[in-house]
Structures are given as structure tokens and as C-alpha cells.
Amino acid sequence: MNTEKSQLLFEKSRNIIPGGVNSPVRAYKSVGMTPPFIKSAQGSKIIDVDGNEYIDYVGSWGPMILGHAHPEVVSEIKRACEDGTSYGAPTEKELMLAEIIIDAVPSVEMVRMVSSGTEAVMSAVRVARGFTGRDKVLKFEGCYHGHSDGLLAKAGSGLLTTGVPDSAGVPADYVKNTIVAPYNDCDELENIFKRYANDLAAVIVEPVAGNMGVVQPKEGFLALVRELTLKHGVILIFDEVITGFRVSFKGAQGYFEIEPDMTVFGKIIGGGMPVGAYGGRKEIMSVISPIGPVYQAGTLSGNPIAMAAGIKTLEILRDNPHIYKSIEEKAVELEKALLDSSKQYGIPLKVNRMGSLLSGFFTGEDVTDLKTAMKCDVEHFRKYFRNMLQSGIYMAPSQFEAIFVSSAHGKEDIEKTISAVDYAFSKL
Ligand code: PLP
């Protein structure tokens, strides 16, 4: 595989962009490689500057659920561009996207658009604090909620893979109100509530964790989170940046039939454009400026091009519910291929799958939280990843991320991926 141009670009970038990348996991550090620089993407394929074509299971880290450059989405984006790219003023498109979200997700009665998942989470936490008049926030180990200071307490995702346990530059004071609990641990949750219930403004959770690899909530875990938060007047925030409109059109909350007080959405609601949103009960959302005392603002919030891409993406998902079934079926095939190869070549592997999201963990132990995820043999993952890439399969360069299947993945893509899995395992 020729990677000359990518290597050259990476070298140049490293001089003027920290690590050569604008988000750390992209640097391929944890797999000991230099990243392909991407030139274009279409459907299920992504193409690098050296002309290598890959089947893409990153999907821009989730949002490309319809595949890349979906013709209807692109056409809406083009049309929106012709009307001007930003006004910093209210538009009908913002209202349309808000209505689609509110219709899909019953717990959301009001929604505010922002430009990233980080911004959405940060704002939701501020609202929860403003609404309750309390300061403490509980998050779970291995869940990632963006890079705002208060939530960079033992965050997962990019930080895990670059081997930095926490971030420098976050003052201890900023995280002193952040409590970190193990995911899926009901006893510890009860203990924390016994101690802090009356100080907690919010509990924030990925209802299916996607940032320590995919980890499903254990039976009863989310129900207990809901029960305790309700009992003590704590705002329950579901971070559905990964699961929203992905696990089902109603998100993970629709799937598990648990209603949080607030929900955070991200990239998927912008169809790949920079968008995030946070919403919840009207009573809670009414504390936000200009109607309430909690300040939050954004020049590019509700950007018309991003809204156009988001509206079309969500409309297609809403009007074609079979998409969810078909992407899940493809994920099931991949899950089976991984497990078959693990058995055939005697390499310990556990697969966690939730709908069209899955992770293969190189460990013989069930992965239910960060501690068990960290038991993975990352050297096996590294080798596996390199062999997959060589075979033209583009996955997240980290053991602790998900594979995202899209509606653009065809039968041939899945067959080619299954052969690549077999080859990669045969080389381990
Ligand atoms: N929350 C979750 C669950 C995420 O997975 C991410 C990013 O992947 C974020 C928040 C932050 O979103 P963004 O990268 O758009 O800031």
C-alpha cells in the first residue's frame, strides 16, 4: 500500500498542528502508525490522498449513518449554501430540526442547538446546576462527555488511547465537584447517593457507553440511576451523542424506555456537519437565557447549512425505519465473523454489540466497565488493526472505540470485511 503522500502531509502538519491532527485519536499513536490523510468519501468508502480506498467503519465517529455524501443530504447542503452560509439570526430550519428531535424523543420538550457535543454537554451541566442550585455532578468512568474542564476527570476515548490518564491544564478546583463512579456498578452508585444525593445537580451517563469500546448497561443499571435521581431531585442527563438516532430513532432512551430529564445530542443530528444540541423538560430548559438566568450562547449555533444537513438526515431515518433493522443485521454478521475467527485461531475476544454499534475486545473476560475494558491485549489490537487497514478496512485506531455500520455498507463490503477479519486473525 502506497502511503507516501499521507506521510509527507503528516510530517508537514506535525510542525504546525499539534501532533499533526485536530483531535488526538486521529494521530494513530496508539497503533504506532501514521494516519492516512483523507481526500474524499462516498457511500461506504473513504479514499486517501495516495488513492487507497477503504471500507469505512468510522463514519466520522458516528454521524455518517447514511454513508458519506448521501445525494439527498448533499443536495440540501448545496441549496442551503446558495442562500448564504450564516446569519446569526433565527431561521425556520432551526425550528424544523427542533421539531424533528422533539417528535422523536418524548423526554425532550425544548431543545437548544450548539456546534459540538462538548458544547452541548457543558451547557446541559450548567443548566442542571442552574436549575437545581447544586454544584456536584456524577459521571461514570470510561464515559466520555467531551473535553470541557469539569468532565475531564478520568475521561475515556482519545485520552485512553494516548495513554494520558487525565488532562494537564485542568485546575483541581474545576473537577472538585465531579464525582466519578464505575459504570454498571449499582452498589457503588447507591453508596455515592447515600453520601452526596443532596449535593448532586446531575448524573450524566452514556446510556450505552461508546467511548471505552461499546459497553451496554447491565440489566437494572439505568433503571437504578433513574430511580435514585428522581428520588433526590437530581437531573438525569443522557449523553446520546453516540446513541441518539443510532441505537433507535428514539435513541437509547427509546430502546430502554427510560426517560431522562435532559438529553445531549451531537454530530448525527447535523448529518456530519458541526452540530450538537441539548434538550429536556420545558421547566428545566426555561432557565436558559434569554428567558432565564443561565447564560449560554453561540454565534454559529443553529447554522443554516448544518441544520439543512441534519434535517435531511433525520428525515431519511424517520421515513425509512427499515434502515435500523438492516444496519443491525450487518453488524450481527460482523459480530459473528469476529467471534468465529476468535474461535478458529484461538485468540480470546469478546464482542459487545448494540444495534449497529459494536466493539471486539481482545480479552477473554466480559467487558462491562472501564476496568474490564483495560484488560484487553492492546498489542493484539494493534496487529489486528494494521492487518485490517492493509486489507482496505478503515476502523477507529483504538481498542476503545466502536465500529459504526451505515446504511451504505453493501453485501460486498460486509463480505470483504469478513474475509479481512479472517486474514487479520490468521496473522495474530
Ligand atoms: N459525548 C459523547 C458520548 C461523545 O462520544 C463525544 C464525542 O465523541 C462527545 C460527547 C463530544 O462531542 P464532540 O466531539 O462533538 O465535542
Q: How far is the CA of 219 from the centre of ligand 1 (A)?
A: 25
Residue 353 is which amino acid? R
Q: Do 364 and 394 reside in the same domain of the chain?
A: yes
Q: Do 254 and 214 reside in the same domain of the chain?
A: yes
Q: How many CB atoms lie within 10 A of CB 299?
A: 8
Query: What's residue 171's pLDDT?
Result: 86
Query: What's residue 172's pLDDT?
Result: 82
By alpha-carbon position, which residue is closest to atom 1 of ligand 1? 145
- Residue 244 C-alpha cell reads as 441518539
**Which atom of ligand 1 is found nearest the CA of 61?**
8
Q: Residue 157 pLDDT > 60, yes or no?
A: no
Q: Do 286 and 185 reside in the same domain of the chain?
A: yes
Given 319, 344, 359, the domain boundary residue is 319
Q: How far is the CA of 115 from the centre of ligand 1 (A)?
A: 11
398 lines ligand 1 (CB under 6 A): no
Q: Do 119 and 208 reside in the same domain of the chain?
A: yes
Residue 3, SS3?
coil
**Which atom of ligand 1 is found nearest the CA of 146?**
11
Alpha-carbon span 407 to 121, nearest angstrom: 28
Q: Tens digit of pLDDT for each residue in 386-425?
A: 999 999 999 999 999 999 999 999 999 999 999 999 999 9
Q: Do 111 and 60 reside in the same domain of the chain?
A: no
Query: What's residue 163's pLDDT?
Result: 26
266 lines ligand 1 (CB under 6 A): yes
Q: What is the CATH number of the domain that holds 328?
A: 3.90.1150.10
Q: How far is the CA of 74 from the centre of ligand 1 (A)?
A: 24
26 lines ligand 1 (CB under 6 A): no
Task: Catalogue the active-site residues.
Answer: 144, 239, 267
End-to-end CA distance of the chain: 20
Show the CA angle centred on residue 101, arms to residues 98 and 103, nearest 5°. Answer: 105
Q: Tens digit of pLDDT for each residue in 323-352?
A: 999 999 999 999 999 999 999 999 999 999
Q: Which of 21, 242, 245, 359 to mutate to test the pocket of ligand 1 (most atoms within 8 A of CB)?
A: 242
400 lines ligand 1 (CB under 6 A): no
Alpha-carbon span 28 to 117, nearest angstrom: 22
Q: Which of 26-30, 162-166, 287-291 has the lowest average pLDDT?
A: 162-166
Q: How far is the CA of 276 from the centre of ligand 1 (A)?
A: 9
Q: Do 101 and 185 reside in the same domain of the chain?
A: yes
Alpha-carbon span 304 to 287, nearest angstrom: 25
Q: Residue 277 pLDDT > 80, yes or no?
A: yes
Q: Which of 114, 145, 208, 215 to mutate to test the pocket of ligand 1 (most atoms within 8 A of CB)?
A: 145
Given 287, 319, 351, the domain boundary residue is 319
Q: Tens digit of pLDDT for each residue in 346-383?
A: 999 999 999 999 999 999 999 999 999 999 999 999 99
Output the pTM of the full model: 0.97
Q: Tens digit of pLDDT for each residue in 14-55?
A: 999 999 999 999 999 999 999 999 999 999 999 999 999 999
Look at the block and give the residue holding cell 470510561.
142
Q: Residue 181 pLDDT > 80, yes or no?
A: yes
- Residue 416 C-alpha cell reads as 470483504
Q: Do 350 and 312 reside in the same domain of the chain?
A: no
What confidence tier does 161 reach under pLDDT thresholds 50, 70, 90? very low
Q: Do 93 and 212 reside in the same domain of the chain?
A: yes
Residue 53, SS3?
strand
Q: How far is the CA of 242 from the centre of ligand 1 (A)?
A: 7
Q: Do 339 and 296 reside in the same domain of the chain?
A: no
Alpha-carbon span 22 to 143, nearest angstrom: 21
278 lines ligand 1 (CB under 6 A): no
Query: What's residue 159's pLDDT?
Result: 40
158 lines ligand 1 (CB under 6 A): no
Show the CA angle centred on residue 158, arms to residues 349 and 273, nearest 5°. Answer: 110
Q: How far is the CA of 119 from the centre of ligand 1 (A)?
A: 9
**Which atom of ligand 1 is found nearest the CA of 243?**
3
401 lines ligand 1 (CB under 6 A): no
Alpha-carbon span 218 to 119, nearest angstrom: 28
Q: What is the CATH number of the domain that holds 150?
A: 3.40.640.10
126 lines ligand 1 (CB under 6 A): no
Q: How many CB atoms lie within 10 A of CB 71?
A: 10
Alpha-carbon span 357 to 369, nearest angstrom: 17
Domain of residue 406: give its range. Answer: 4-69+321-426
Q: Do 80 and 95 reside in the same domain of the chain?
A: yes
Cis link prior to 106 (omega < 30° from 0)?
no
**Which atom of ligand 1 is found nearest the CA of 266?**
15
Number of domains in the chain: 2
37 lines ligand 1 (CB under 6 A): no
Q: How far is the CA of 326 from the centre of ligand 1 (A)?
A: 25
144 lines ligand 1 (CB under 6 A): yes
406 lines ligand 1 (CB under 6 A): no
Residue 363, SS3?
coil
Query: What's residue 154's pLDDT?
Result: 65
By alpha-carbon position, which residue is closest to atom 14 of ligand 1? 117
Alpha-carbon span 343 to 423, nearest angstrom: 14
Given 289, 319, 349, the domain boundary residue is 319
